[in-house]
Amino acid sequence: MPPDPAPKDLFQKRFVIVAGKGGVGKSVVCAALGLAASERGLRTCIAELNTREKAPLFFGKRPSGYAYQELRKNLFSINVLPDPALREYGLMKLRFERVYKLVFENEAMKRLLKVIPGMNELFLLGKVFNMEREKKRDGTPLWDMVIVDAPATGHGVSLLRLPDTIMKVADAGPMAEEVGAMRALLLDPRRTAVNLVTLPEEMPVRETFELAAQLEGSLGMPKGYLFVNGIWPRLLSDTDAGLLDALGAVLPESAYRARAGVESLAAMVERTRFQEQHRAELAEHMPWPRVDLPFLFVERFDESAIARLSESIVTQLAVLQGQAA
């Protein structure tokens, strides 16, 4: 199945969502995209959602919690937390802190908010939604790009589905207006793109298929790119791999160092073959435009590692855009 045409330039989107199974490298991709956007002169913010912060660590910074932190020129991060997000929203709508405290900080309201399903997620989504529309004093956007590091697959789908769910039970009033605007942003292909990250392994690939089906089906959100992370280099041709197997079969037991080296190399070759099978499966069944990211053999995953991945992303996106033109 040929891949779908590449979407419009990803760096023209204002609201970039990065989703996928936990542990596949979503935060790494967010950091690499953020670095690429910042180097294009785009004022960019990576929004992590109520989680242990990773973005600052990649750039040698300490986590800052619910506060914008500058990681480098044009690149910022924030960890969006439910309680301060609620406070910020309440003050924005009610204008006065005394009124906010009367409405939201009485015990009855606190208990009510805790038992309403999805309220914490709504505050998280509301904050990143508001970031997309925030303005400077001169009326220009505060952010050229907001990159949302979405929660792991199941929780992430629930978060993205939340506006639809709320609209079904509250289709009028101030909340419905706000949620309707959130939904409009999520469905707007001019501003938004949902990108998926996976590893070339069985469980991540299966979850990626399921997530893609929901995005293209019931959610109907504008898709971006598929990032396949952690790809090992192809070390040997099939012929050389066969020779390696033959060498391992004839080495004496006493040549333990040579045998250890052959076995290690054989294991790396086998891992590459294993990954290639899953990459072929992705190409056959999921025709999203795809960006392949190498496995980096580094001791520390710091800004230099992010820069290498960022460069790879920019190069491949340029090729995909050229093919789509």
pLDDT tens-place string over residues 277-324:
999 999 999 999 999 999 998 988 899 999 999 999 999 999 998 776
Does 95 score more than 80 pLDDT?
no
CA–CA dist 318, 63 (Å, integer): 33
Every domain of the chain and the residues it spans = 10-324
Structure confidence at residue 262 (pLDDT): 56
Structure confidence at residue 260 (pLDDT): 63
Structure confidence at residue 102 (pLDDT): 44
Does 250 score more than 70 pLDDT?
no
Specify the length of the chain in residues.
325
Beta-bridge mates of residue 195:
18
Could you tell me which of 21, 18, 22 has the C-alpha nearest to residue 208?
21
Model pTM score:
0.86
CB neighbours of residue 153 within 10 Å: 20
Comparing 25-39, 88-102, 195-209, the range with the smallest average pLDDT is: 88-102
Does 112 score more than 50 pLDDT?
no
Does 117 score more than 60 pLDDT?
no
| Mean pLDDT within 220-235 | 91
Higher pLDDT pick, 240 / 137: 137
Structure confidence at residue 118 (pLDDT): 54
Structure confidence at residue 115 (pLDDT): 43
Beta strand extents in the chain (DSSP E only): 15-20, 44-49, 69-72, 75-80, 145-152, 192-198, 223-231, 290-294
Contact 127, 15 (CB under 8 A): no
Could you tell me which of 196, 189, 208 has the C-alpha nearest to residue 7?
189
Residue 300 CA neighbour count, 13 Å, CB half: 7
Does 235 score more than 90 pLDDT?
no
Confidence of residue 233 (pLDDT cuts 50, 70, 90): confident
Confidence of residue 14 (pLDDT cuts 50, 70, 90): very high
Structure confidence at residue 225 (pLDDT): 97
Contact 279, 200 (CB under 8 A): yes
- What's domain 10-324's architecture? 3-Layer(aba) Sandwich (3.40)
Contact 228, 204 (CB under 8 A): no
Confidence of residue 173 (pLDDT cuts 50, 70, 90): low
Does 105 score more than 50 pLDDT?
yes
Tell me how far the alpha carbon of residue 111 is from its chain's centroid: 32
